[in-house]
Structure 1
Amino acid sequence: MRIPLGLRAHAGTSALLVVLTAVACLLVSGLPRTMQASFDEALSRSLAAAPALRTDLTVTGTPALPAGELHSRAEFEGRDLGWRRLIPAALRTLIGPGGHISAKTYRTPVNETSDIRAFVNLGWLSDAGRRVEWVGGRAPGRPSTMRYLGTTIPVIEVGVVEEAVARMGLRVGQTRMLGESVHTAAKIVGVFRAKDPADRSWSHDADVLHVTRVVPMDGPEEFHTTTLMSDDGLSALTSKASGLAYRWVLPLDGRAASALDVPAVQAAVAEFQRQVDVQGTGTTSYRLVTGLPQLLTGFLGALSAAQTVMYLVLGGLFAVALGVIALGVRLLTDRMARTMALARARGASLWQVAAAGATLTALTVGPAALAGYALSFLLPGPVPPIVHLGPAVVLVTAVAFAVARLMLAHRTPLQERRADLVTARPSARRVTVEALVVVLALVGAYLLRARGPSGTAQQDPFLLLIPVALTLAAGLITLRCYPYPLRLLVRLTARGRAALPFLGLTRAARKRSAGALPVLILLPALSLSVFAAVVHDGITTTQRLASWQQVGAPIKLTSVENIPPDAIERVRRAPGVEQVALALTGRMQITATGERPYAVAVDLAQWRRVNEDAPISLPTLSGDTSALLSPALGGRDAFDVMWLSPVRLTTQGVIDAVPGFYASGQFVLVPWEVLPWPAANTLLIKGDISPVELARLVPSATVATQEAALAAIQDDPLTGTVRTTMVVVTVALGAYALVAIVLSLVVGAAGRARAVSLLRTLGLSDRQARRLTLLESLPVVLVTTPVGLALGLALPAALGPGVDMSAFAGGLPVADHPPGLLTPVALAAGLGLCAVLGAYVHTAMSRRRNLDAALRVGDP
């Protein structure tokens, strides 16, 4: 057989196969790249959004003896180089340049009598010159000495932050005596402020930038601040007067992070921690402080859920694409059937026939697979192994299917078969295997629901195999069962006077073997597209609910202090404001136990008017002194609390969360009437007013909106990738299902056109021909569509306990939400419409057939 001649003879079929192959290879190679790129972006964003205190690697050293103390910048920088040399290679690429070193004392008391306890810690930052500016006095210089209580003590020049001047009364020129038994003098020579308070590195040194107020349970309130000294001050910094700690901060650069390398990075952090631990000596102990492992573990949990769902739908898309390509190859081999039969009759061996068909298929599919593979590199993202493996699988599958079909069809030269006249009975072995598949799929689904989430961040093969087993089981049941209603319809139509329904349904029943492949394509295509649409709708609905849970109202205005009544009135009268509910938050003390839970007092009636159209339900309190407690507070009856004034509360019940305020920990919800006088630090607002305008009306407040919270949830890269992939897969699977219907019509086009032409010679009209074609092709769609629709709607319920989608929905579980049926029903209706249109198009094309040829050529 001449291969180029075969390509020209079947140019239309070859072109269709080329398009199907190129699109399939583009999807299977391109989508994983974009997915992996989004995973990397999500990791980078999560690391950038987390405080530097959690992501950076901080080596802390605590000198136990004077021999372990460091007194110069050179000594600190030498240790910094040593720590960097110990970083494993997998982690070294994530450590950015810069970083800083610090030396600080902690809980260093001021040696003087006062109503409050003041702690002025001594501190040194290696990069203070870059991070602070001096707004009063001068920068600290060299230390000196002085006589105090008969001994010589060091005098260290320090600078204090502006906040310490206002809250602790520290002034330039003052000298404060620090310590209790061993004293050090701190001479205040300057006042500083941060050049960039938003610099991430300040999270390591918040004690330098802000004054900390502590209210002990059994003592006076305390104020803590950390001063800054010069490099020269290190020579006088010792641990004799108070505790002393050194810190080497190695900054993490999340821009170079890759989701594929997360396990290796976790192992590298553990190895670095072990290396730091063994560096300790008798004079100094070292340890690694970082929240990076916890961040990576949380990310892997969300990543595992995303990968599970996306690999599931992409695997289904790949399988459906392979099935459609197999239909195209079948169409090509059917077109070559007479040529191959003639070659076989003239002495060609079975392997020669198979080799010719394989070569023709490879020349058609190979360049198309290469083209789709090349086009995938236009998409951004790294290159996982599936990018290279997918096109190879497509090529091998297409060629293998062509070889298998040709070898089965031409085992014997000139073998005439009428498979549509005889229905082969399945063997007992085949029935047993199919029954076993169905039973295992149902048992696996039950075990998945009973087990719930796997609890690990690794991929769960069980979770990936169960949907495949359920789809295969549904396909086997459909193939076994759908001939029976057809036979019943054939018997019913045989009793009627009209011949057309009997002929159409009879031809459909005889095509059982030919319709197996379209069923196995349509079923997963429709079920997975419905599954993707349902999951997408569920995530979208839950995201909206989560945004309302986070904010608690369309707009929430929160102030660090009580909002004056005149400011509240300005907000009420502002243009666009419709409703305002007042709330007060704070910490109350339970008299009997001393517990200090968070408290929320809110005008519940007004709050309901604010949230009139919200998807969240608000709690109800029946009395002026009733309260709802969080589960962490446990069950109790009436109890006394102190909040603004003593009050006795009566427990009405337990509440899991207060929307917009608290969702975990210890908290109490009380009615507005429990307050001894009107006070509010939170306003819950309904209306059309910009956050900027509200911030102008109440300068001390921060404004949050439900729309902004929803946008933040949807802007997460992992969430956006999951939702986008669901949309793409839904569209692609729907398109492949339509192509499968068209190809199933085209595969039997020759026999169908011959039958229609023969019937037209007997007086069959064009309208009757369309109805005949429709009756022949529509049963497969009508049987498969409800099964696929039901399976797609059932998959989220079957997989729900095993897949935690809360990471993509603002922390709320994606469950208990009725699926939106518009998209699934539209997909199912689209398949039926495509079958109807295909029947009409095929009938229109059959009009061109010569009736004389139909009379001369036909089945014997």
Structure 2
Amino acid sequence: MRPVQAPWVRTRLRTAPGAAVALALLVVLTACLAAALPRAVDRYEDAGLRRAVERARPQSTTVAVWAQPPSPLLSQEQREAALRPGPLAARYEKIRAVVDSPLVPDPGQSTYGVRTATPMEASDGWLPRPSGLPARISLAAQHGLGAHVTKVTGRLPRTDGPVTARTPEVEAAVTAATAKSLHIRLGSRVHVPAVGRASLAVRVTGIVTPRDPEGAYWSTQPLLRTPALAVVPSNDPNKDYYWLGALLLSPDAAPALLGTAAVPWSYRQYAPTAGSLHSYDTDRLRSVIASLEGGPGLRRIGALTGPTTTVSTDLDQVLGTYTALRGGVRPLVAVAAFGAGTVAAVVLLMAGGLAADRRRTELALLRARGASLRGLMGRLVAETAVVALPAGALGCGIALLALPGARVSYAIAAAATVTALACATPAVRAAVAHRVVRVHGGRADVASVRPSRRRTVAELTLVVVALGAVETLRRQGAQDNQLTSLAPVLTGVVAALLLVRLHPLPLRALARPAARLRGTVAHLSLARAARTSASAVLPLLALLTALTTAAFGGSVLAGVHETRDRAALLAVGADARVETSAPLPTGLPERVRRMPGVRGLAAVSIGYQAQPGNGTQSVPLAGVDPRDYAELADRTDLGPFPEAELTARKASGAVPALASPAVAERYGSRPFPVRLEDGSTITVRVTAVRSRTPAVTAGDFLVVDRAALSRTAARPNALLLTGAHLDGPALRRASGGTASVRLRATERARYVDSPLQSGAEHVYTAAVAAGAGYAVLALLLSLLRASPERAALLARLRTMGLTRSQGRRLLILESLPQAALAAAGGALTGWATIRLLSPAVDLTTIALAAHDVPAGPAALQTDPTSLTLPALAVVAATVGAATAQAWWTGRRGSVAELRAGDTR
């Protein structure tokens, strides 16, 4: 009878359940994060696209198809039949089928109908005439009126029998806004000119309130909802005005428009469904729009409605603005993604290497007994796959459930890549270590293992690639390509390779003077640190990449926040601004000065129509208290100046003035008169030039001492406040509710108006945090790898008289040099990366989106916290791990530790 053999995989898993559980947890976490990243990017990019479409006017986003009336060559009955609801609905559905995905029309907001191409003059004298000109009326028969109103006074229009071009009277409804502006009541008759017969009478039977006034049904053609006061084009400054309004007919009454003096056009409005829009379909969507406006799509529509059909929409412009914003955000997010992904990959490689090293003796024995390398690798892959495959599937499933509504393919691909890497790493590592059959391995520290030529060539290649990426980024900017996004990561990789080659040198130099000390701990720890494992490149690579990414990420976030803060300051002029067109109440400045949070206050009288020189141009003139205003300018760093610049009178008697560069260039240093808004005149001389000033946030300006102005002109109409946590509602109440109150914090929040910005910041922060967490995990794995050897060393030294405190100091001092060098190298690499890439990275897009603010380009800002805090965390984690190992080793017996060391 043959003995029953236990399966290899089951036996191996039972012998090391802790290692299997740890691997499963690592794969679950990594696969979940890898799958979550593309889904998170999809979600915020889709939300940004939908927000952009929703914020745009329906006039811009709706696809409108306009067709001229039926051909005059047709009979009158055929022309009338073409405008009836049945044929219009059939063509509407056929055209809707032409509109290809991903442009999905919203059935609730899309519609069709017939409308007069030009408004017609109404002959009724009771309609309002602001300038004596008759009102002009547009007639529209739009489908679905009853479903888009919430209130009907009277009833909706209808028809009694078939309507033709000769019908003398039809019914109509108007919106409440139209009825109010044009003085229309129930039963009112509006007469519009007809062709070859008496005017067409339109009787109003209902006044309706729109259900969704801002929706595409009403807002694609705003005149149907809201009347307009139009102006007659002329060069006369006294313009003539007239009212424009629309009457809403029943769809069955559309043939009556053929008898009017205006040309009736049929139209179809296809409003896009915002929920169906996806960022990854933007290029296809723009291609579909281009086809509809002037390509195959237009030809197909023209075959249904006629050769003169036109398709118009501004949705492609909305998409263009969005893609420009997305193009500025993506490269910055890619930097964080590549950094975190590199660190996670290194940790997986380290975990696989640790698993292979733990089995080194066993695998070497199997090879010595005749096991093939291919068979050994197959068994290791199977053993790892039993744990990694379910873990990877679980991590991917968690990401899919936690972040719904995004593409699945990229998430599955990312999780599968993580799982494959986890499965292959132990087998590949074992194949490299055991490709030659040997029982006893040699030493693997840097004193005995020298870098091979292949490794040297590979490292030099990485250096060249990194230099090329940095130079490309500096020349072309942060474009959407992988090479430039990898520049910070490659910089960290090069720094890690250099540190691995160079760090033993200073440690050996320090070991020589330490040998002269009386104690042996310092010399022994430095000697061991200088002879560290030659495979320490992976932990250092993880640490330096994580530290570089964290420094770069902190610099990006600091630059974004600084840019927004600066832009808000330029827009407000201070931390808060209280301004009215009339003089402020006399006691208001003192009441505001005593409010909580107010640090400084400058009362300013601003005249925006001051006329210097010959009075051909107006320049804002601000009258200020020199002391308060100088303090304000210094605190805000908006054109700071010495107080004496506004108080020292010149011999000519002219009032000293602070001016913008354009004003200073125009009038020079000579005295010139300035006529104020109250009719008084002062003579000023430019004594200082500044490009910006708090009182006037844009354009040219003059700033003078308020004491030199007349009593009327000197009364302040604006208060500029500095301080933290200013209360906007309290400021409005204090000013009586009539003043305009603007807060710097509110203005700063306004710049984050797209989910692209906030989503990118959140993903960036999460990626940097994940990279830092994996870096700490890499550090712990490196310490865990050396833990058995260190424990055996302490046991041997304790047999020679080493105390527990000396053993603790030995482990700490042995680990500290590498951690300190890694931390210092990471901080230095991060700082150098920021300095190298700062000229090429423009954060204006992610900081301000589409806002036009004269804040200058947003550049990377060195963030001391992101440079020092992760580095200190690395040192603290190293010291803590060494202390914990020394404490745990001290609790175990020396015999057990020596046996553990001997077996390895």
Q: TM-score with structure 2 length normalisation?
A: 0.77
Segment of structure 1 superposing worse, 24-33 or 219-228 = 219-228
Q: Which moved more, 1:783-792 or 1:128-137?
A: 128-137
2:546 is aligned with 1:503:
no
Q: CA deviation at 1:8?
A: 3.1
Provide the rounded CA distance (Å) in 1 between the counterparts of 2:330 and 2:591.
Answer: 50
1:271 to 278, 283, 291: 291
Q: Tell me which amino acid in the other structure corresponds to 2:797.
A: L
Q: Distance in 2 between matches of 1:589 and 1:217?
A: 31
The CA distance in 1 between the partners of 2:441 and 2:676, in whole Å, is 94
Task: State the 1:85 CA deviation.
Answer: 3.0
User: Does residue 12 in structure 1 map to residue 12 in structure 2?
Assistant: no
Contact 1:800–1:815 (CA under 8 A) maintained in structure 2: no
Look up the match of 1:48: 54
Matched, 1:231 2:249: yes
**Can you list the C-alpha shifts for 1:287-319, whole angstroms capped at 9, x where unaligned?**
332221122122223223333232332232222
Q: CA deviation at 1:483?
A: 2.2
Deviation at 1:830, TM superposition (A): 0.9
Contact 2:63–2:312, Cα closer than 8 Å, also in 1: yes
The residue identity in structure 2 corresponding to 1:342 is L
Given residue 736 of structure 1, which amino acid in structure 2 is its aligned partner? Y
Q: Specify the alignment match of 2:780 in structure 1.
A: 742
When residues 766 and 231 of structure 1 are mapped into structure 2, their CA distance, relative to the original with a 3 A threshold, is same
Tell me whether 1:786 sits opposite 2:812 in the alignment.
no
What is the aligned partner in structure 2 of residue 451 from structure 1? 476
With over 3 angstroms needed to count, the CA separation of the structure-2 counterparts of 1:657 and 1:225, relative to structure 1, is: farther
Give the distance between the partners of 1:592 and 1:241, measured in 2 at CA: 52
Q: CA deviation at 1:254?
A: 0.9
User: Aligned to 1:252, what secondary structure does the other structure show?
Assistant: coil
Picking from 831, 834, 838, the partner of 2:874 is 831
For structure 2, list consecutive stretches of 5 or more residues without a partner in the other structure.
Answer: 1-6, 161-165, 647-654, 850-854
Contact 2:609-2:618 at 8 Å conserved across structures: yes
Q: Which of 540, 549, 558 lines up with 1:519 in the alignment?
A: 540
Give a deviation string over 1:356-401, Cα, whole Å, max 9, x none: 4333333333332233223223312323433112232223223322
Q: What CA deviation, in whole Å up to 9, does each residue of 1:700-733 have, x standing for no partner?
A: x876543333344446422222222233223322
Which of 705, 708, 731 is the equivalent residue of 2:769?
731
Deviation at 1:227, TM superposition (A): 1.6
The answer to whether the 8 Å contact 1:160/1:226 transfers is no
Which residue does 2:39 correspond to in 1?
A: 33
SS in 1 for 2:247: coil
Q: Distance in 1 between matches of 2:693 and 2:307?
A: 48
Following superposition, the deviation at residue 114 of structure 1 comes to 9.6
Larger deviation, residues 780-789 vs 55-64: 55-64
Matched, 1:218 2:218: no
Q: How far apart, CA to CA, are the structure 1 residues paired with 2:683 and 2:155?
A: 55
In the other structure, the counterpart of 2:407 is: 383
Q: CA deviation at 1:323?
A: 1.6
What pairs up with 1:358-507 in 2 under 5 angstroms? 358-381=381-404, 382-410=406-434, 411-420=436-445, 422-428=447-453, 430-454=455-479, 459-507=480-528
Counterpart residue number, 1:851: 894
CA distance in 2, matches of 1:820, 1:598: 43
Deviates more, 1:357-366 or 1:834-843: 357-366
Greater mean alpha carbon deviation, residues 644-653 or residues 76-85: 644-653
Q: Residue in 2 aligned with 1:146?
A: none
Partners of 1:137 and 1:190 within 8 A in 2: yes
CA distance in 2, matches of 1:725, 1:772: 41
Q: Compared with structure 1, are the counterparts of its residues 421 and 380 closer, same or farther at alpha carbon in structure 2 (3 Å cutoff)?
A: closer
Change beyond 3 A, Cα 1:165–1:588: farther
Determine whether 1:841 maps to 2:884. Answer: yes
Deviation of residue 552 (structure 1)? 4.7
Q: Which residue of 2 aligns with 1:775?
A: 813
Q: Is the 8 A contact 1:608 1:618 kept in 2?
A: no
Equivalenced residues, count: 835
Cα gap change, 1:676 to 1:568, in 2 (>3 Å)? closer
Letter of the structure 1 residue corresponding to residue 729 of structure 2: S
RMSD: 5.3
The one-letter code matched in structure 2 to 1:828 is A
Supply the distance in 2 between the matched residues of 1:169 and 1:77 (Cα, whole angstroms). Answer: 34
What pairs with 1:313-324 in structure 2 (closer than 5 Å)? 313-324=336-347
C-alpha contact (below 8 Å) 1:585/1:681 kept by paired residues: no
Match of 1:147 in 2: none
Alignment of 1:57 with 2:63, yes or no, is yes
Secondary structure of 1:122's counterpart equals: strand
Equivalent position SS for 2:448: coil
Q: Is the 8 A contact 1:583 1:680 kept in 2?
A: no
| Contiguous gaps of at least 5 residues in structure 1 | 144-151
**Is the 1:153–1:183 Cα contact (8 Å) retained in structure 2?**
no
Scaled by the length of structure 1, the TM-score of the pair is 0.80
* In structure 2, C-alpha distance between the alignment counterparts of 1:604 and 1:451, rounded to whole Å: 46
Give yes or no for contact 2:604–2:695 (8 Å, CA) kept in 1: no
- 1:103 is paired with a residue of what secondary structure? strand
Provide the residue aligned with 1:819 in structure 2: 862
Q: Which one-letter code corresponds to 1:227 in the other structure?
A: G
Question: What is the CA-CA distance between 1:130 and the residue it aligns to?
Answer: 6.4
Cα deviation code 1:315-336 (max 9, x no counterpart): 3222212222222222222222
> What residue identity is the alignment partner of 1:120?
A
Residue 138 of structure 2 contacts residue 245 of structure 2 at CA under 8 Å; is this kept in 1?
yes
Distance 1:583 1:750 in 2: 77
Match of 1:199 among 197, 214, 237: 214
- Name the SS of the counterpart of 2:486 in structure 1: helix
Distance 1:742 1:331, change over 3 A: same
Q: Is residue 2:276 matched to residue 1:256? A: yes
Deviation by residue 1:117-137 (Cα, 9 ceiling, x = unmatched):
747332234266666799999
How far has the Cα of 1:267 moved from its partner? 1.3
| Aligned partner of 2:314 among 291, 302, 305 | 291
Task: Decide whether aligned partners of structure 1 residues 198 and 331 sit closer, same or farther in structure 2, where only a CA change above 3 A counts.
Answer: same
Alpha-carbon deviation of 1:24?
1.0
1:31 deviates by 3.1
Secondary structure of residue in 2 paired with 1:227: strand
Partner Cα distance (1:194, 1:435) in 2: 74
Letter of the 1:404 partner, please give it.
Answer: V
Q: How does 1:683-698 map to 2 (within 5 A)?
A: 686=721, 688-690=727-729, 697-698=736-737
Q: CA offset at residue 261 of structure 1?
A: 1.7
Structure 1 residues 284 and 771: CA distance shift in structure 2, 3 A: same
CA distance in 2, matches of 1:49, 1:569: 42
Q: Is the 8 A contact 1:109 1:178 kept in 2?
A: yes
Indicate conservation of the 8 Å contact 1:88/1:271, yes or no. Answer: no
Which has the higher mean CA deviation after the structures are superposed, 634-643 or 297-306? 634-643
Q: Tell me the SS of whatever aligns to 2:802.
A: coil
Q: Cα deviations across residues 667-688 of structure 1 (Å, max 9, x unaligned)?
A: 6556699999869999666563
Deviation at 1:162, TM superposition (A): 7.9
1:485-509 CA-partner distances (Å, limit 9, x unpaired): 2232233334544432222122222
Offset of 1:636 from its aligned partner? 6.8
Q: Distance in 2 between matches of 1:54 and 1:661?
A: 34
2-structure distance, mates of 1:339, 1:435: 36
**Aligned twin of 1:120:** 135
Amino acid at match of 1:269: I
Pick closer, same or farther for the CA change 1:627–1:758 going to 2, 3 Å: closer
Given that 2:169 and 2:202 are in contact with CA atoms closer than 8 Å, whether structure 1 keeps it comes out as yes
**Aligned partner letter, 1:321:** A
Note if 1:329 corresponds to 2:364.
no
Q: Could you tell me whether the CA contact under 8 Å between 1:330 and 1:747 is conserved in 2?
A: no
Distance 1:730 1:141, change over 3 A: closer
Summarize deviations over 1:401-440 as a string: whole Å, max 9, x none.
2122222333213143123374344345543442343233
Counterparts in 2 of 1:347-362, with a 5 A limit?
347-362=370-385
Distance 1:637-1:444 versus aligned 2 partners, 3 A rule: farther
**Contact 1:453 1:804 (C-alpha < 8 Å) held by counterparts:** yes
**2:104–2:273 CA contact under 8 A, matched in 1:** no
1:3 deviation in Å?
3.3
Moved more, 167-176 or 246-255: 167-176
CA distance in 2, matches of 1:432, 1:443: 16
